[in-house]
C-alpha cells in the first residue's frame, strides 16, 4: 500500500510538471493559440531599417508595419491597409497623401503619428545612418539616387495633421511603384524611443536586439539566439486583434524541415527563399495528411553573370553561344522536376511588365559552336565558373553548366566558395562567369543591376542604350508608356545578354491544414496580413 502511494505521488508530480511546461517552446504546438513558423537561418538584428536579410525582415514585419501591405493577385497589385487607412495619388502623380489609422498605437500605448513617419524618413535619408531602405524612398524630392539628403534641398515631406502627411517626389512617378516601395517596404520607427539617438550610433542601438516598442499585430517577447523568436499577440492592434495568441519563428535548417513537419512541430515555412522544402523532400510533403503544400510562382531567378572587364567575354556572340550551350530545359525538367520557368530576362513571367514576345535562346549546341567560331573564341582558354555554396540546387546547376560548356568546347573550371567570398569576387571583378540569384520588387526598375555603375551591376557592364532605357523607365509615370520602354529593355537584354537567366524556380512552401487565412506577399513570404491567421486544433 505504501509503495503504491509513493508511485501515485510520483505520477501526479510528473503530470503536473508536464502541464507546466510552456506550450510551443518545446514539442508540438499544443493549441489553436500557438503557431510555429520555420526559417533556415537566424537574423542578426531586428532593425526595421537595417536588418541584414530577408530573414530579419520576415520577423520585423510581425512587429513593425509600413503604410500598407502589398500582394500580387492575377497580375494586379493589391494593397491592404497596415498603418494607413487611406492613401491617394494626386492627378499629377507627384504628390501622395496618407492617413494613419486613428487607433494605430505603439506597443507602449503611445499613438503612431505622422511625426513617427517623418522621423523614419529623416533617419533613413540621413547620410550617417546605416540602412538598406534607401532605394525605397529614393524617389522623394530632395534625396539622391541612394535615398540620402542633399544639404540645401527641401525634403518632399509635409505633416498635414497628427495622423496625416504628404510626400512629394522629384518627378511624376508610377503610383503603383511608389505605393509598393514607400508604402509597402518602409517600416515605421518609434520617434519617442529612438528620437534622441545620434544616427551614426543607431545601428548598434540595443533596441534593435530587443524591439519591445513596435506597431504591428504582434509584440516581441524574446529571441533565443539561433533557436527561435517568440512573439505575442498585440490585443490593441488597430486592424483587429489577431486570433493567434503566440507565434514562434524557429530557426530550422533546410535538411531538418521535413522531420519537423512529420512530428507536427511546424505549422508553416517562412516562404520563398528563406524557408522552403528541399526538392527531394517535396513528394514526401505531398503525402503528409496534415499539411498543404503551396507552390509559389516566384518573383526570383537564378542567373549566370559575365565579367565584362574580361576582353574575351565582351563579344556578345560568345555570351549568346553560352546561352545556346546551357541545357536550361534539362535543368528545369530534371533538376527542378518541372517546378520552374525559363525566360530570357530579369523581369519574371509572372510580372505585369513581362514581355512574352522575347523568347529564350534555344538549347542548340551546333549554333553555340558556330557562334564561338565566328567570334574567334580561343578553345584553349580555361575560364573560371564561380559557384557559391549554400543553395544546393544552384551548386548542382554549376555542375550541369560546366558539362554543357565543355560539350561545346569551352574549358571550364568550377570554383566554389562561401557566399560572402563569392560576392567579394564578383564585385571585385575577380571571376569569368559566376552564379547568383535575385529576387526583387514587382516594379520593373532594375537600374541597380543593369545601369552603368549600379550597386548590383555584378557584370560591370556599361551598355549605353540600356542606360537610356532604364532612365526613361524610371522617369515615366504612365504605366502604359513604361510598359513600352520595358518591352524594349527586355528585347535589348536578350540581345546583349549581360546575364544568362537560368531559371525562375517556383517556391516550395508548406502550411499545416489546421491553419487558414494564410497568404504570401509579393516577395513570396508568409508574414502577410498575419492578423488574419487562424489556427485550428492540432
Partner 1 sequence: MSDLASVSRAVDGAKPTRPVTFWSLATQRFLRHRLAVSGLLVMLVIAGIAAAAIWLAPHSPTAIDPVAFQAAPSATHPLGTDSVGRDVLSRLIFAARVSITVGVLAVAMYVVIGTAVGATAGYYGGKMDLVLSRIMDVMLSFPPLIIILFAVSVFGRPSIWNVILVLGLLGWPALARLVRGQFLALRDLEYVLAARANGSSDARIVLRHMLPNALAPVLVAATFGMANAILVEAALSFLGLGVQPPTPSWGNMLTDAQSLTVLERMPWLWVPPGFMILISVLSINFLGDGLRDALDPSLRL
Chain positions contacting partner 1, by CB under 8 A: 254-256, 258-259, 278, 280-281, 283-284, 327, 330, 334-335, 389, 392, 395-396, 398-400, 402-403, 406, 413-417, 421
By the 8 A CB rule, do 300 and 273 touch?
yes
What CA–CA distance (Å, rounded) separates 66 from 456? 25
In this complex, which beta carbon is closest to partner 1, that of residue 214 or of residue 273? 273
Query: Exposed/middle/buried for 159, CB within 10 Å: 0-12, 13-18, 19+?
Result: middle
Closest CB to partner 1 among 149 and 416? 416
Query: Rounded to whole angstroms, how far apart are CA atoms 172 and 531?
Result: 34
CB-based contact 67:50 (threshold 8 Å): no
Parallel, antiparallel, or unpaired for β 411-417 and 382-388? parallel
SS3 491: helix
Measured from the CB atom, the residue of 421 and 519 that comes closer to partner 1 is: 421
From residue 522, alpha-carbon distances to 160, 171, 203, 290, 506 in Å are 30, 26, 27, 26, 13
Taking the complex as a whole, the smallest distance from the CB of residue 418 to partner 1 amounts, in Å, to 8
22 DSSP assignment? P
The answer to whether residues 45 and 208 touch, using CB atoms and an 8 Å cutoff, is: yes
* Residues β-bridged to residue 70: 79
Angle (CA) 280-359-448 rounded to 5° is 80
Residue 316 has what DSSP assignment? H
> Please, what is the minimum distance in Å from the beta carbon of residue 405 to partner 1?
12
Q: How far is CA 91 from CA 95, 174, 266, 356, in A?
A: 8, 11, 48, 31
Residue 393, φ and ψ in degrees, nearest 5: -60, -40
**Least distance in Å: CB of 343 to partner 1?**
21
Of the pair 150, 330, the CB lying nearest partner 1 is at: 330
What is the four-CA torsion angle of 59, 70, 509, 27, rounded to 10 degrees? 30
User: What b-and-e string marks burial along 60-82, b requiring 16 or more CB atoms within 10 Å of the CB?
Assistant: bbbbbbbbbbbbbeeeebebebb
Minimum separation from the CB atom of position 248 to partner 1 (A): 22
Other beta carbons within 10 angstroms of residue 22's beta carbon come to 10
Least distance to partner 1, CB of residue 436, Å: 16
Tell the smallest beta-carbon distance from residue 36 to partner 1 (Å).
18
Q: How far is the CB of 189 from partner 1 (least distance, A)?
A: 39
Q: Which is nearer to partner 1, 286 or 481 (CB)?
A: 286
**Minimum distance, C-beta of residue 380 to partner 1, in the bound complex (Å):** 20
- Least spacing, CB of residue 277 vs partner 1, in Å: 9
What's the residue count for the chain? 538
Cβ closest to partner 1, residue 181 vs residue 508: 508
Select 259 or 362, whichever has its Cβ closest to partner 1: 259
Under DSSP, is residue 137 helix (H, G, I), strand (E, B) or coil?
helix
Nearer to partner 1, 94 or 404 (CB): 404
Q: Looking at beta carbons only, is 171 or 330 nearer to partner 1? A: 330
Q: Which is nearer to partner 1, 258 or 323 (CB)?
A: 258
Least Cβ distance, residue 435 to partner 1 (angstroms): 12
Amino acid at each position: 500500500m505504501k509503495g503504491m502511494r509513493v508511485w501515485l505521488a510520483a505520477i501526479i508530480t510528473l503530470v503536473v510538471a508536464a502541464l507546466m511546461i510552456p506550450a510551443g517552446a518545446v514539442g508540438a504546438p499544443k493549441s489553436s493559440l500557438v503557431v510555429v513558423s520555420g526559417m533556415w537561418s537566424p537574423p542578426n538584428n531586428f532593425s526595421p531599417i537595417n536588418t541584414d536579410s530577408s530573414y530579419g525582415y520576415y520577423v520585423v514585419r510581425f512587429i513593425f508595419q509600413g503604410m500598407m501591405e502589398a500582394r500580387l493577385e492575377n497580375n494586379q497589385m493589391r494593397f491592404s491597409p497596415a498603418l494607413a487607412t487611406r492613401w491617394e495619388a494626386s492627378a499629377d502623380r507627384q504628390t501622395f497623401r496618407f492617413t494613419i489609422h486613428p487607433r494605430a498605437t505603439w506597443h507602449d500605448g503611445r499613438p503612431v503619428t505622422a511625426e513617427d513617419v517623418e522621423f523614419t524618413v529623416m533617419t533613413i535619408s540621413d547620410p550617417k545612418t546605416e540602412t538598406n531602405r534607401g532605394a525605397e524612398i529614393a524617389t522623394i524630392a530632395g534625396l539622391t539616387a541612394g535615398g540620402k539628403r542633399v544639404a540645401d534641398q527641401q525634403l518632399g515631406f509635409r505633416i498635414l495633421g497628427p495622423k496625416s502627411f504628404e510626400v512629394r517626389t522629384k518627378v511624376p512617378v508610377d503610383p503603383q511603384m511608389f505605393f509598393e516601395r514607400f508604402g509597402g517596404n518602409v517600416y515605421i520607427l518609434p520617434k519617442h524611443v529612438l528620437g534622441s539617438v545620434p544616427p551614426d550610433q543607431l545601428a548598434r542601438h540595443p533596441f534593435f536586439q530587443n524591439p519591445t516598442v513596435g506597431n504591428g499585430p504582434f509584440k516581441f517577447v524574446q529571441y533565443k539566439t539561433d533557436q527561435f523568436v517568440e512573439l505575442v499577440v498585440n490585443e490593441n492592434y488597430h486592424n483587429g486583434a489577431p486570433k493567434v495568441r503566440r507565434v514562434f519563428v524557429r530557426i530550422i535548417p533546410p535538411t531538418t524541415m521535413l522531420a519537423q513537419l512529420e512530428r507536427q512541430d511546424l505549422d508553416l515555412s517562412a516562404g520563398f527563399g528563406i524557408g522552403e522544402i528541399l526538392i527531394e523532400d517535396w513528394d514526401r510533403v505531398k503525402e503528409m495528411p496534415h499539411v498543404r503544400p503551396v507552390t509559389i510562382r516566384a518573383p526570383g531567378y537564378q542567373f549566370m553573370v559575365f565579367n565584362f572587364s574580361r576582353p574575351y567575354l565582351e563579344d556578345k556572340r560568345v555570351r549568346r553561344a553560352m546561352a545556346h550551350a546551357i541545357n536550361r530545359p534539362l535543368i528545369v525538367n530534371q533538376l527542378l522536376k518541372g517546378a520552374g520557368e525559363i525566360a530570357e530576362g530579369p523581369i519574371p513571367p509572372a510580372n505585369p511588365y513581362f514581355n512574352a514576345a522575347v523568347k529564350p535562346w534555344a538549347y542548340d549546341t551546333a549554333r553555340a559552336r558556330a557562334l564561338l567560331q565566328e567570334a574567334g573564341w580561343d578553345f584553349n582558354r580555361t575560364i573560371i565558373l564561380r559557384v557559391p555554396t549554400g543553395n544546393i540546387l544552384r551548386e548542382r546547376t554549376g555542375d550541369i553548366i560546366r558539362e554543357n560548356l565543355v560539350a561545346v568546347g569551352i574549358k571550364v573550371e568550377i570554383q566554389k566558395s562561401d557566399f560572402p567570398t563569392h560576392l567579394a569576387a564578383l564585385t571585385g571583378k575577380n571571376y569569368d562567369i559566376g552564379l547568383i540569384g535575385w529576387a526583387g520588387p514587382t516594379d520593373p526598375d532594375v537600374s541597380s543591376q543593369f545601369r552603368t555603375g549600379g550597386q548590383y551591376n555584378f557584370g560591370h557592364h556599361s551598355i549605353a542604350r540600356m542606360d537610356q532605357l532604364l532612365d526613361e523607365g524610371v522617369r515615366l509615370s504612365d504605366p502604359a508608356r513604361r510598359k513600352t520602354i520595358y518591352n524594349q529593355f527586355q528585347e535589348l537584354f536578350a540581345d546583349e545578354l549581360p546575364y544568362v537567366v537560368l531559371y525562375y524556380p517556383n517556391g516550395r512552401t508548406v502550411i499545416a491544414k489546421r491553419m487558414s487565412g494564410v497568404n504570401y506577399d509579393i516577395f513570396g513570404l508568409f508574414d502577410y496580413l498575419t492578423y488574419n491567421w487562424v489556427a485550428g486544433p492540432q
